Structures are given as C-alpha cells and as structure tokens.
Structure 1
Amino acid sequence: MRCYRRQLGISYEDHITNEEVSRRIENAIGPHIDLLTIVRQRKLKWYGHTTRSPGLAKTIMQGTVNGGRRRGGQKKRWEDNIREWTGLELRNTLRKAEDREKWKAVVRRSAAAPRRIPNLRNRC
C-alpha cells in the first residue's frame, strides 16, 4: 500500500482508506492479480514440484526433526499453509501432488484469494 500511495501521490495525512487506494490503482492500471494470490500459487506449485521429485528438498519438507516446537504462539509451517489453502489433509495432498494434472487443478482452485468481508462501517 505504501508503494501504491507513493505512485498516486497520496499522503497518509490525507486519510484515504486502503480500499479507496486499491480502487484507484485498479482504475489506473486495470484488473490485476492480488499479491497474496501470486504467493499462494507459487508456494503450491513449488510444493507439488518438490513432492514429485526425489531430492533433498523433499526430504527436508516431509522429514521430521527431533524435538518440540517453541513455547508461545506458533509460527505457521509450510504444511499449515498447504493444509489451510487446499482444505486437504497432508497425506491427500501428497497423493494428489504425485499426479501433475490433479495438482494443477488443486492449485487453480486453492490459489484464488478469498474475498474480504467488508467492515460494518462500509455496509451502511
């Protein structure tokens, strides 16, 4: 948003919402793919690629490390993102990733960014 505001010449003191800035950018450059969607798509593609290939990346991604996780709020792992985005258990994602065409369908379905629920203030 900082880059968008700088490109449009909008200061933070102008009190323009991020939704308005996004709308102005879309009017200026046309429809575009959201950054979160691109990140999801690339992570899911890479996960499928490493799952199909025998190598160190696959061993690291699917391997287990001795010991527990840290105390406190846990950071998200790759597995957590894959499970959340696809809605599948890890063993099912491994099975689907082995078939390239099935995995491409999963990536297309899962990479779409969810629509944000507008704030209550914007509904009135």
Structure 2
Amino acid sequence: MRCYRRLPDISYKDHTTNEEVSRRIENAIGPHVDLLTIVRQRKLKWYRHTTRSSGLAKTIMQGAVNGGRRRGRQKKRWEDNIREWTGLELRNTLRKVEDREEWKAVVRRSSAAPRRIPDR
C-alpha cells in the first residue's frame, strides 16, 4: 500500500482508506490486476515448472532437512502457500502438475482474488 500511496501522492499522514487509494489508482490507470494476485500466479507457475524438472530447485523444494524447526510461530514455507491457495494436499498437487490444462485451471481458480467488501 505504501507504493500505491506514492503513485497519487497521498501522504501516510492523510486519513485515506486503502479502498479509497485503490479507487483513485483505478480511476487514474484503469482496471488492473492486484499485485498479490500476480505474485500468487507466478509462484504457482514456478511450482509447476520446478516440480516437473529434475534440478536442484526441485530437490531443495521437496527435500527434507534433518532436525527440527525453531520454537514459536513457524514461518510459512512454499508448500504451505501452495496448499493454502489451491486447497489441495501436496501429493494431489504433484499429480495435477503433470496435466498442463488441469494445472492452468487450478492456477486460474486459486489466483482469483476475492474482492473485499469495505466495512461500513
């Protein structure tokens, strides 16, 4: 949002809601795809690319490291994002990745950003 506020020159001190900032940007440049949606699509596409390959990226992504994780709230992993966005278990995504058209449908379905309804 900080970058979005810089485009129309809105200071962070101004009491302008995020929805208003988005509305001003959309009026200025027209309809656009949300940045988080683009990131989600690209991550899912890269997941398919690395999963189908046999390189180092696949080994790192799917490999298991010996030992435990640190205490406290755990950081999100790639697998967590893929599971959350697609709603599928990892073993099911590995099967769906093999079929290009099916994976494209999964990416389309999971990267559709729901529109937030502003609280009033």
Percent of paired sites with the same residue: 88
The Cα offsets for residues 74-120 of structure 1, whole Å up to 9 and x where unpaired, read as 1000000000000000000000001222111111111112332432x
Moved more, 54-63 or 4-13: 4-13
More helix by proportion, 1 or 2? 1
TM-score, structure 1 normalization: 0.90
Please identify, of 39-48 and 110-119, the stretch whose mean Cα deviation from structure 2 is larger.
110-119
Deviation string 1:45-81 (CA, Å, 9 cap, x unpaired) is 0000111111111111111111111100010000000
TM value normalised by structure 2: 0.93
User: Structure 1 unaligned runs (5+)?
Assistant: none
Give the number of aligned pairs: 120
Structure 1: 4+ residue segments shifted above 6 A: none
Instruction: In structure 2, give the amino acid aligned to 1:32.
Output: H
1:1-124 correspondence runs (5 A):
1-119=1-119, 122=120
Residues 41, 107 of structure 2: 8 Å contact kept:
yes
Q: Which runs of 5+ in 2 are unaligned?
A: none
| Distance (Å, rounded) in 2 between the aligned partners of 1:9 and 1:49 | 39
Distance (whole Å) between structure 1 residues aligned to residue 34 and residue 73 of structure 2: 28
